[in-house]
Amino acid sequence: MSQQLFTLDYLDTPPTAAAGAEPAQDVRVSPATRTGRQRKLYIESYGCQMNFSDSEIVSSILFDEGFDTTEQLAEADLVLLNTCSIREKAEQTVRMRLSQINSHKKRNPGMLVGVLGCMAERLKSKFLEEEKLVDLVVGPDAYRDLPNLIREVDGGQKAVNVLLSRDETYADITPVRLNSNGITAFVSIMRGCDNMCSFCVVPFTRGRERSRDAHSIEQECRDLVAQGYKEVTLLGQNVDSYKWASEDGTEHVNFAQLLERVARISPELRVRFSTSHPKDITDEVLHTMGRYENICKYIHLPAQSGNSRILKLMNRTYDRPWYEERVQAIRRILGPECAISTDMIAGFCSETEEEHQDTLSLIDWVQYDMAYMFFYSERPGTLAARKLADDIPLDVKKRRLQEIIDLQQKSSAARNHQAVGKVHRVLVENFSKRSQEHLSGRNSQNQVVIFPKKHYKKGDYVNVFVHTGTGGSLLGDSVE
Ligand code: SAH
Ligand code: SF4
Ligand code: F3S
C-alpha cells in the first residue's frame, strides 16, 4: 500500500490495497511458470489480499494436477477469475471481463472458463444460467475439489462446488507465489468472518471464521525466510480475533502471541498484518508491536463512519468514543510515528448531513496516513439490504465521498510532510517505476520511498534520508 488515495468505486481496475477484505485491489494476472507441464492455467484475481492469497493456493493445487501458469490469456487451456462481491462495481467488472473472455473462447473453443471466489459463492449455480460461457463455479472453501471438478468439465459437464466449510484453512498447501517480487509475501492466518457488519457480504461469501494452525503459519514464514523473503503480511478479515488451540488443548495462541512467534523467526523479517477490527485490537497486540522492531508500525483500523448511530446501524459493535480510545491507545503505546489507516463508507442508509460531518471530523481528529474510501453499495442478502432502506441518492453519496477524499488528501499530505527531513529504514522491493537508476521500497509505516540505486539491490535494508514528500511517495538519498 502506498500513500495514494483511492476510491475503488471510481476506478475500473482498482489499485493495490490493504487486506482482509480489502486491501489489495488491483487485478492481478498469473505470471508464467514454464516447467513443461501439459496444460496452461491463466488466473486473474480481483478484490482483497485474501483473494490474491487464495489464487496462490489454487495455483499450487493445479500445479500438482499438471498445470503451468501463463500470463497469455490466448494460450490458456483453463481461465480462472477469482472474483469479488464487495460492491456492485466489483461484480460489474467481472461480468465485463467475462464477456471479453467469451470472444477468446470463440476463437479457442477448447478453453475452459471457471469463476472462483466470492462472486462464485454468492451466485452459486445461478452463474451458469446467467453466464453461459462459464464451465466451472467454485467457492472459496472448495478449492481442494478443483481437480475433480476439472475432470467433470473435461468430460463435457458443467461443475459447481460452493460448499462452505467450518474448518478448511488450506494449512498444508504451500502456495505458489504469483506476481512475487521475491521479497514480500502474504500469509493467510484465518478465513471467514463472524462479524455480520450489516453492509457486508463477506460473512456470506467466506463463511464462518476459523484460525489456521499456528505451527503451519510459522513454518510457512520460516520457509519464506529461507527463500530470501524479507516481509510477510499476515492476513485475515479480523486478525485480532485469531485464536488457535492444539488438538490436545495444551497450546493456545492468540493474535498477539502469533505475531510474537512470527517476529521471532528472524530480526531481518518484517511483519505486517491486516485487517484489525477496532472492537478487538488489544493493548497486548500494541505492546507486542512495541517490543519488536521488525513488526511494522502500521495499523489498518477501518472506522467505516465517525458517527455512533451509523456505527450501530452498521452493526460494527463499537461507537465513536470506543474508536477514539483505541486510537489513543495506539498513540500512547506506540507513539505518534505509528501509521494508522482506515476504510470509510459514505452515504450509508439514513445518514444525515450532520452524521456525515462526524466522519469528516473523525478523519480530521485521527489524521490518517491513508484511507480506502467508498460510497455505500447495497449487497443482496446482507442485514442492511433486508432491514434498512438504501435511501441516500447517488449524487449525495458521491458528493459526500468526494468531501471525505478531499479531507483525507490533506491529512495524507500532512503525514508525508512530517516524514521529510528524517532518516527512514527502507526495505527495497523493486526498481522505481520511472527509472532503473532508482530503487523503491517502503518504510515501517508503509510509505513508499524512492532513492538513487548506488550499490543497493532488492531485499536490502537501506537507511534513507527523505528530502521531498510528493503526492504519492517520498524521495530521498541513502545514508551510510
Ligand atoms: N474486514 C475488514 C474489511 C472488509 S471489506 C473490516 O472489517 O474492516 C473492505 C472494505 O470494503 C470495508 O472496510 C468497507 O469499508 C468496504 N465495504 C464493504 N462492504 C461495502 C458496501 N456494501 N458498500 C461500500 N463499501 C463496502
Ligand atoms: Fe465484513 Fe465486518 Fe467481517 Fe469486515 S468485519 S469482513 S466489514 S463483516
Ligand atoms: Fe475479498 Fe471481495 Fe471477497 S473484498 S473477501 S474478495 S467480497
For 448, the 3-state DSSP assignment is strand
Per the annotation, does 338 bind a ligand? no
More confident residue, 362 or 33: 362
Nearest CA to ligand 2 atom 2: 197
- Partners of residue 187 on adjacent β-strands: 234
DSSP string of 202-257? HHHHH-S-EEPPHHHHHHHHHHHHHTT--EEEEE-TTGGG-EEE-TTS--EEEHHH
Q: Using 50, 70 and 90 to split pLDDT, how confident is the model at 13?
A: very low
Structure confidence at residue 16 (pLDDT)? 30
Is 154 inside any structural domain?
yes
- Average per-residue pLDDT for the chain: 92
- Protein residue closest via CA to atom 5 of ligand 1: 21
Whether 366 is covered by a domain: the verdict is: yes
Q: How confident is the model at residue 180 (pLDDT cuts 50, 70, 90)?
A: confident
Quick one: 389 and 435 in the same domain?
no
How far does residue 20's CA lie from ligand 1's centre (Å)?
9
Residue 170 within a domain: no
Ramachandran sector of residue 446 (left: φ over 0; alpha: ψ -120 to 50; beta: rest)? left
CATH number, position 338: 3.80.30.20
Q: Which residues line ligand 2 (CB under 6 A)?
A: 21, 193, 195-197, 200, 202-203, 237-238, 277
Q: Is 349 annotated as a binding residue?
A: no
Tell me the pLDDT tens digit for each residue of 77-100.
Answer: 999 999 999 999 999 999 999 999
Query: Residue 193, annotated ligand binder?
Result: yes
For residue range 37-56, what is the model confidence (pLDDT) as tens digits?
689 999 999 999 999 999 99
The secondary element (H helix, E strand) that includes residue 425 is: strand 423-431
**Higher confidence at residue 21 or residue 472?**
472
* In-domain check, residue 166: no
* pLDDT at residue 423 in the model: 98
| Structural domain contains residue 229 | yes
**C-alpha cell of residue 32:** 508464467
- Region 189-203: what's the mean pLDDT? 97
- Say whether pLDDT at 24 is over 60: no
Best of 54, 84, 186 to mutate for ligand 3, by most ligand atoms within 8 A of CB?
A: 84
**Same domain for 414 and 315:** yes
Same domain, residue pair 225 and 111? no
For the segment 284-308, the average pLDDT, to the nearest whole number, is: 98
pLDDT reported for residue 19: 32
Atom of ligand 3 nearest to the CA of 25: 4
The pLDDT > 90 percentage for the chain reads: 85
- pLDDT at position 131, please? 83
- Tell me: is residue 200 an annotated ligand-binding position: yes
Ligand nearest to the CA of 195: 2
pLDDT in tens, 224-249: 999 999 999 999 999 999 999 999 99
CA-50 nearest atom, ligand 3 = 1
281 lines ligand 1 (CB under 6 A): no
Q: Is the pLDDT of residue 106 over 90?
A: no
Note down the domain range covering 454: 423-478
Stretch 366-375: mean pLDDT, rounded?
97
Domain count, the chain: 3
Contacts of 35 (CB under 8 A, 6+ apart): 68
Q: Are residues 129 and 245 in the same domain?
A: no
Task: Point out the least confidently predicted range of 11-20, 241-250, 259-268, 386-395.
Answer: 11-20
Atom of ligand 1 nearest to the CA of 22: 9
